[in-house]
Amino acid sequence: MSPVIDTIETLLVDLPTIRPHQLSMTTMACQTMVIVRLRDSDGIEGLGEGTTIGGLAYGPESPESIKRNIDTYLAPLLIGQPADNLNVLRARLARHARGNSIAKSALETALLDAQGKRLGRSVAELLGGARQTHLPVLWTLASGDTAKDIDEACQRLKQRRHGDFKLKIGANPVEADVRHVAAIKEALGDRAGVRVDLNQAWNEATAVRGIAALQDAGIELIEQPIPAREHAGLIRLANRFRVPMLADEAVQDARDGLDLAVGGFSGAFALKIAKSGGLQGVLELAHLAQTAGIGLYGGTLLEGTIGTAASLHAWATLPELAWGTEMFGPLLLKDDIVAEPLAYRDFGVALPTGPGLGIALDEDKLAHYARR
């Protein structure tokens, strides 16, 4: 008989960041993760993580709503069901619960982790096999202070930790943001690529002015300069400038990807398991992008180690990502809740090995940081 899902437990875990992380819509000094512990009737436990940015400042799901909706609506749909047919379980969640992509991603991660442990296979193997075991990782400079950001970037280069950098801008006037970014790019020169993320902060007219200046400054990629719903505007910007546009909030799943591709979008898609409801959904989007000749970028919602490991298993099944990844979430945190941290070295991170995600919890650390 197939094992069935016995219990699903969710925990809110608050971990402080190493420094304030400034975005266009909020500044973070702590990251809250929803940790999922799914236990099957054969005694196997699967781990998952649902994480977002800045409570409700970024999107419609908060850590508290993710936990409540899993506990109240989603977990009852899974408990008692056979644990080894993920396609049926995903369809069951989609049929009975709309939206809640981060919550669904956390549950799918836990299901895949448990199935991998049961079969003695990694999550990447369950998804078809890893094509790469070391993935490049950039670092986001988000202190808001130009001198501090330059120093931070130089330290990361010297340590061979990161070779490319992204700047979060959009909270300040355009001219101030451009000066900040241009100074950092000038200081780094050809030693590193520099990109920017607006998190939808500009309207299209402002974006035309700002992107022109950023392109002149040597910035190599512009992420989501205008609101997510403005697909036509993003396509116009992509066709107007040499510097590529990176669609992030504008492309949640394969349906959004198809809309942009059919409209003539050129540039890249930011892949995030949380946006697409899990690993299988994000790979559907990735394969669509590949077919349309659109570049790929492995994005993050600043997940901790569990969510980051899940993303890495998905990215590892793809050909080389044209724009690399930003799976640095665990490095932004002062501490961790896992027994063995991810191995960051040589401007990237190693794919975890072992069954499932290849991640085990540190129970003492989990108990210390879990919200009462």
DSSP designation for 111: H
Q: Are 344 and 295 in contact (CB under 8 A)?
A: no
Out of 61, 152, 223, 326, pick the active-site residue: 326
Alpha carbon 344 to its chain's center: 17
Name the token pair of 290.
């590949």
**Nearest in space to 230 (alpha carbons), one of 188, 189, 259:** 259
168 is catalytic: yes
Contact indicator for 315, 286 with CB cutoff of 8 Å: no
Helix (H) or strand (E) holding 69: helix 63-69
Q: Which tokens is 15 given?
A: 């971990």
Nearest by Cα to 121 from 357, 371, 347: 357
For residue 252 the two structure tokens come to 């949640």
Residue of 67, 166, 168, 185 marked catalytic? 168
Sheet with 5-22, edge to edge strand ranges: 5-22, 27-40, 45-51
**Selection from 329, 198, 339, 340 nearest residue 274 by Cα:** 329
Residues annotated as catalytic (active site), given as ranges? 168, 326
